[in-house]
């Protein structure tokens, strides 16, 4: 029996550690039949080492999503390797330290601008860089952390994720005519490298211990990875502009 991504070609960003959601999305995508290519920044060699733990060898391309030169060459590099694309996974987020950890009211605009550029605008710029390779339509899947609420310690990453979620809706509007679906997975907290960069992350994550209807495991990125793979597949052919929660159900619980 073939996998749900059999014959699909997928570009995946954000594979930094084996504990990252993007790594598990890449692993599951390969197991489900996809050919994949990875991007990395600022240390492609780190991603290359992690990529050796995937079921099949895969190429790693250096990509800084704030660098127009990198974005401009991306389609050619990916096209040489895969010929085209059927899916793109955006797993990129960054905020300077002074934009996190309870410093919300004192963060300078320069740091806010960096967070917005890397974490939100890059969904559009990455997708547009890949668009020439998606001639037959496809699926763009990003990762968010529920931006309906103000989370402890998360500070300007919250507004950045809100911008990401709005960007996803507008992309869904404008790319639908090319049969490109744009959706997000809203994942619960995972003990990844990105999480470790948030001061007081344990305080934020502890909310899941008491409010999540389903037991939540900080050490298990696979459920979110499965959500990404499902949205990359043809099993959601008419779903776009959507946010699918893979958070143990916490988003539905008031207190």
Task: Note down the domain range covering 208.
Answer: 9-247
8 A C-beta contact, residue 160 and residue 116: yes
Q: What is the pLDDT of residue 205?
A: 83
Amino acid 195: pLDDT: 63
Q: How many domains does the chain have?
A: 1
99 labelled as ligand-binding?
A: no
Q: 124: annotated binding-site residue?
A: no
Asked whether residue 130 is assigned to any structural domain, the reply reads yes
Q: Hey, which residues are catalytic here?
A: 154, 161
Q: For residue 1, is it within any domain?
A: no
pLDDT attached to residue 197: 67
Q: Is residue 181 part of a domain?
A: yes
Residue 163 is part of a domain; what is its CATH number? 3.40.50.720
What pLDDT shows up at residue 207?
A: 87
Q: Quick one: which of 55, 201, 64 has its CA closest to 129? A: 64
Residue 89, in any domain of the structure: yes
Domain presence at residue 186: yes
39 forms beta bridges with 61
59 is in an annotated binding site: no
Structure tokens at 251: 């988003």
Angle at 222 between CA 117 and CA 255, to 5 degrees: 75
User: Are the C-beta atoms of residues 22 and 28 closer than 8 Å to each other?
Assistant: no
233 known ligand binder: no
Q: Classify residue 165: in a domain, yes or no.
A: yes
Q: What pLDDT shows up at residue 192? A: 64
Residue 252 lies in a domain: no
Q: Rounded distance, CA 15 to CA 50, Å?
A: 8
Which string of DSSP letters, residue by residue, matches the chain?
Answer: ---TTTT-EEEE----STTSHHHHHHHHHHHTT-EEEEEESS-HHHHHHHHTTSSS---EEE--TT-HHHHHHHHHHHHHHHSS-SEEEE------GGGSSS-GGG--HHHHHHHHIIIIIHHHHHHHHHGGG-TT-EEEEEEE--TTS--TTTTTHHHHHHHHHHHHHHHHHHHGGGTEEEEEEEE----SHHHHTSTTHHHHHTHHHHH-SS---TT--HHHHHHHHHHHSTTSTT--S-EEEESTTGGG---
Report whether 61 belongs to an annotated binding site.
no
β pairing state of 60-62 and 35-40 = parallel
Domain-located, residue 2: no
Determine if residue 21 is labeled as part of a ligand binding site.
yes
User: Is 125 annotated as a binding-site member?
Assistant: no
**Average pLDDT per block of 10 residues along the chain, 255 residues long:** 92 94 98 98 93 97 97 98 98 95 96 98 98 98 96 94 98 98 96 67 83 94 97 98 97 88
């Amino acid at each position: 029996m073939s996998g749900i991504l059999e014959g699909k070609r997928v570009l995946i960003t954000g594979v930094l550690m084996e504990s990252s959601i993007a790594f598990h999305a890449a692993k599951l995508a390969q197991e489900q039949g996809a050919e994949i290519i990875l991007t990395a920044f600022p240390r492609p060699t780190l991603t290359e080492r992690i990529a050796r733990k995937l079921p099949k060898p895969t190429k790693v391309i250096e990509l800084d999503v704030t660098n127009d030169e990198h974005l401009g060459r991306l389609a050619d590099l990916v096209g040489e390797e895969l010929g085209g694309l059927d899916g793109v996974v955006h797993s990129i987020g960054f905020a300077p330290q002074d934009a996190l950890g309870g410093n919300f009211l004192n963060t300078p605009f320069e740091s806010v601008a960096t967070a917005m550029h890397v974490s939100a605008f890059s969904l559009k710029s990455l997708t547009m860089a890949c668009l020439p390779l998606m001639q037959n339509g496809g699926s763009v899947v990003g990762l968010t952390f529920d931006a309906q609420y103000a989370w402890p310690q998360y500070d300007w990453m919250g507004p950045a994720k809100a911008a990401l979620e709005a960007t996803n809706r507008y992309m869904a509007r404008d790319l639908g005519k090319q049969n490109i679906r744009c959706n997000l997975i809203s994942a619960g907290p995972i003990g990844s490298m990105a999480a470790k960069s948030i001061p007081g992350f344990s305080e934020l994550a502890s909310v899941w211990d008491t409010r999540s209807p389903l037991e939540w495991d900080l050490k298990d990125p696979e459920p979110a990875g499965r959500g990404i793979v499902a949205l990359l597949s043809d099993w959601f052919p008419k779903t776009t502009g959507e946010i699918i929660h893979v958070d143990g159900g916490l988003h539905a619980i008031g207190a």
